[in-house]
Amino acid sequence: MRSWRLEIGGLVKDKRPWTLERINAQPKVSQITRHVCVEGWDYIGKWSGIHLRRFLETIGADLTAKYVSFECADDYSGSIDMASALHPQTQLATDYADQPIGVPYGYPLRLRVPTKLGFKMPKWITAIEVTNEYPGGFWEHRDYNWFSGL
């Protein structure tokens, strides 16, 4: 996965791509939170990574913008509102149960938003964009509720 890069776009000052090494060099936070799937199942687990807020501040994102959108390696896309992006529990996760997340769970990077349903947490993230234009997402374009909060 040495060739993986996180592309940055939109309303940010620093659009340089990020490597996994650079992400892992940021201060990590861990939290034990519940994951709730729209299909009705849930589980509690320990996720670690970097606060999305801290990441957005680091790249000089316009924190007054409306949305943060995510593109993924599997052509999935998703987006959240800026208030959810800045929530203290929202993170770009790199680890689960103190180990790097595996490929089925989003390696090398996935979004964790414990205040949202699971489909709002894209896996295999390859690009992040800060925007004022409604970006929707894979399921949102199929009439799922965009906000999908718990």
- pLDDT tens sequence across 25-61: 999 999 999 999 999 999 999 999 999 999 999 999 9
pLDDT of 84-124, one tens digit each? Answer: 999 999 999 999 999 999 999 999 999 999 999 999 999 99
Please state, in angstroms and rounded to a whole number, the distance separating the CA atoms of residues 51 and 90: 6
CA-based end-to-end distance of the chain:
34
**pTM: predicted TM-score of the whole model, two decimal places:** 0.95
Q: How far is CA 29 from CA 38, 47, 91, in A?
A: 26, 8, 8
CB-CB contact of 6 with 17 (8 Å): yes
